[in-house]
Chains A and B, each alone.
Chain A
Amino acid sequence: MGYWRKAKKLFFVLPSMAGTILFYLFPLCYCFLYAFSRTPGRFTLGGLENYNSLFHSDSFRLALGNTWLMMAACVGSLAVLSLFFVYILDASKGVLGVLVVLSMPMLLPATLITRCMEGVELAPRLMLLLIYLWKYTGFHVLLLKMMELTMSPEWIEAAVLEHARKWQVFCKIKCWYLWPYIRFLLIFDGICFFRLFRESYLLYGEYPPDEVYVVSNFFFNNFQNLNYQRLSAAAIAALIPVLILNGLLLKVGRKHEMV
């Protein structure tokens, strides 16, 4: 009976899991295998040749360095800016209404966004950072404010009775209450950062300036040049930091989670 019930529960997850395995996990394993191949098309063992050429490639090193630098700048500044607005804004109906309107850019197609930025002369890195903040800050503040409303007001009242200051209430109660959502948003921001490729592609084309040449550009260009083994090796090399980052995000603060 127990097994049957478990199997029935698994039945709900199975369709989504099957598709994800087929279209995402298998391709990733294929990448892993292909990264060690010498020839495109048919597999012939080439050892670490592809990795060797990859790490000697200036474009890959540039792309990897730029990716982590820009990702840290984008995700970090977005988190700080969102928390700043969460701190100073009250969750009144009017404020939430304004935040709804201000979270609209997140949904706008890259086409319109690049049109909006036409004629703006900025350094490429700053331009992409601004687009990123412009797109996602409103949505982040809105989501965190809506989640803040589900928090019990008694906690804050108790803290006030203990003479806690506003920043203490924010740092020691609200932030911990919101931590699962902040963590979720940090992972979501990482996903969104790689989606910034669309705007970069529309603004600067296939070969953007060196400062904003990230791994997405590297992958896309190698794909277009049919350099599949190199692409696979690069995919595996980029996977390791993603795994570490993800592991860290999922572990940090789990002990103190309130929801």
Chain B
Amino acid sequence: MRWYRTPRAVQRGALILFGGFVMAPLVWVLLRSFENPVPYKAENFFMFLYRYLSPGQYIDVLFHNLEYWISYWNTLFLTVPTLLLAMFLVSLAAYGLTTMGDKAQNRILAGYAVLALLPMQMLLVPQLIALSNMHLRGSRLAVILIGSFTPWHLFFLHRLCRRVPDSVFEMARIEGAGELTIFCRIALPQMRMGLLVFGIIVSADLWGMVEEPLVYIQDITKYPLSVLFAKARGELSYAGAVLFSLPVVVLFLNGIWGVMEKEGIQG
């Protein structure tokens, strides 16, 4: 079987090239985030260090920028409830779908896939009218509801959780378990890994949302940080962008390692 493997040098070369392509811009931003906001002349070594290795941008963002923190909290107020509601709804629906026949399942998923493929800007007007009729225009709930029912969520989770065998549910039914018991005791634990991956990806998507709050909230005091960055267009510091991305990166690295360990992926 050794012939079947790609030579190690080729693999390493490919990974280095690919890694350089991905990591270089990130490293560049990280380095720029340590640049002193006051552009001193780097006349000697210590001045050079003071210019290019300074926590100045981080101090500015963390301690002198109230607007940044208000928007940070706004991001949390929008992301956390949307994510929780989406996970609840989608896990129920994914279980419901897996217990249906193949034909019904495929038809429903095809419908969801069509809706998921539509650019969100396309539905802005009718969604806005629907939200206005429900007196939700301008409130955070508008973004939370639109975000929780996004069609690609079900499409995505269903694919991740498709491997749960139907016979497991059937056995439980024969033993007399109700649908709700099966969902809570069997389906949810089986879907745990899929839900974790889903949670990571959806939270990252929600963390960076721009169009939805811009259109549905229309109140500058309730805008998340991503909108603030969009409006500032390059005026906010690199440190601000790094700090904003940090929770998503930590969540991702932690979560995905957990998935790999629990799934027993050894390679």
**Could you give, for residues 145-169 of chain B, a 1 whenever the CB lies within 8 Å of some chain A CB and a 0 otherwise?**
1101101101110010011000000
B141 near A: Cβ within 8 Å? Answer: no
A110 near B: Cβ within 8 Å? Answer: yes
Tell me if B125 and A16 are in contact (CB < 8 A): no
**How long is the Cα–Cα vector from A92 to B17 in the complex, in angstroms?**
18
B92 near A: Cβ within 8 Å? Answer: yes
- Tell me the smallest distance from the CB of A112 to a CB of chain B, in Å: 5
B210 near A: Cβ within 8 Å? Answer: yes
A194 near B: Cβ within 8 Å? Answer: yes
Selected from A13, A34, A191, A259, the residue in CB contact (under 8 A) with B116 is A191
Tell me if B179 and A12 are in contact (CB < 8 A): yes
Tell me if B10 and A88 are in contact (CB < 8 A): yes
On chain A, the residues within 8 Å of B229 by CB distance are: 109, 111, 202
Tell me if A242 and B145 are in contact (CB < 8 A): no
Tell me if B26 and A105 are in contact (CB < 8 A): yes
Tell me if A107 and B201 are in contact (CB < 8 A): yes
The list of the 5 closest CB pairs from A to B, nearest first, reads A12-B96, A27-B126, A109-B208, A19-B149, A116-B25
Tell me if A109 and B265 are in contact (CB < 8 A): no
B11 near A: Cβ within 8 Å? Answer: yes
Knowing A19-B149, A197-B211, the reply to whether A246 touches B26 (Cβ < 8 A) is no
**How long is the Cα–Cα vector from A26 to B115 in the complex, in angstroms?**
11
**How long is the Cα–Cα vector from A144 to B12 in the complex, in angstroms?**
19
Interface of A is mostly: helix
- Tell me the smallest distance from the CB of B67 to a CB of chain A, in Å: 15
Nearest A residue to B248, CB-CB = A107
**Could you give, for residues 27-62 of chain A, a 1 whenever the CB lies within 8 Å of some chain B CB and a 0 otherwise?**
110110010000000000000000000000000000
Tell me if B248 and A216 are in contact (CB < 8 A): no
Selected from B19, B92, B126, B210, the residue in CB contact (under 8 A) with A28 is B126
Tell me if A111 and B89 are in contact (CB < 8 A): no
Tell me if B233 and A187 are in contact (CB < 8 A): no
B113 near A: Cβ within 8 Å? Answer: yes
Knowing A109-B226, A197-B211, the reply to whether A28 touches B118 (Cβ < 8 A) is yes
Nearest A residue to B116, CB-CB = A191
Knowing A15-B93, A34-B126, A250-B113, the reply to whether A20 touches B11 (Cβ < 8 A) is no
B130 near A: Cβ within 8 Å? Answer: yes
On chain B, the residues within 8 Å of A223 by CB distance are: 121, 124-125, 215
B6 near A: Cβ within 8 Å? Answer: yes
Nearest A residue to B236, CB-CB = A111
**How long is the Cα–Cα vector from A156 to B4 in the complex, in angstroms?**
10
| Sample (6) of A-B pairs whose CB atoms are under 8 Å apart | A93-B265, A100-B253, A134-B22, A194-B117, A202-B210, A219-B119
**How long is the Cα–Cα vector from A238 to B242 in the complex, in angstroms?**
37
Selected from A94, A98, A202, A245, the residue in CB contact (under 8 A) with B233 is A202
Tell me if A160 and B4 are in contact (CB < 8 A): yes
Knowing A111-B230, A194-B120, the reply to whether A100 touches B4 (Cβ < 8 A) is no
- Tell me the smallest distance from the CB of A254 to a CB of chain B, in Å: 9
**A14, A108, A138 — most chain B CB neighbours (10 Å):** A108
**How long is the Cα–Cα vector from A34 to B266 in the complex, in angstroms?**
55
On chain B, the residues within 8 Å of A20 by CB distance are: 112, 115, 149, 151, 154
Tell me if B119 and A215 are in contact (CB < 8 A): yes
Given contacts A96-B267, A101-B19, 11 further A-B contacts (CB under 8 A): A15-B89, A22-B149, A23-B145, A93-B265, A95-B11, A104-B252, A107-B204, A109-B204, A110-B226, A231-B124, A245-B117
**B5, B29, B208 — most chain A CB neighbours (10 Å):** B208
B217 near A: Cβ within 8 Å? Answer: no
**How long is the Cα–Cα vector from A223 to B253 in the complex, in angstroms?**
38
B245 near A: Cβ within 8 Å? Answer: yes
Knowing A28-B126, A95-B15, A117-B25, the reply to whether A12 touches B230 (Cβ < 8 A) is no
Nearest B residue to A96, CB-CB = B267
Tell me if A27 and B154 are in contact (CB < 8 A): no
Tell me if A134 and B25 are in contact (CB < 8 A): yes
Selected from B99, B123, B162, B204, the residue in CB contact (under 8 A) with A27 is B123
A89 near B: Cβ within 8 Å? Answer: yes
B49 near A: Cβ within 8 Å? Answer: no
Nearest B residue to A88, CB-CB = B6
Tell me if A91 and B130 are in contact (CB < 8 A): no
**How long is the Cα–Cα vector from A250 to B211 in the complex, in angstroms?**
29
On chain A, the residues within 8 Å of B159 by CB distance are: 180-181, 184
On chain A, the residues within 8 Å of B242 by CB distance are: 112
B114 near A: Cβ within 8 Å? Answer: yes
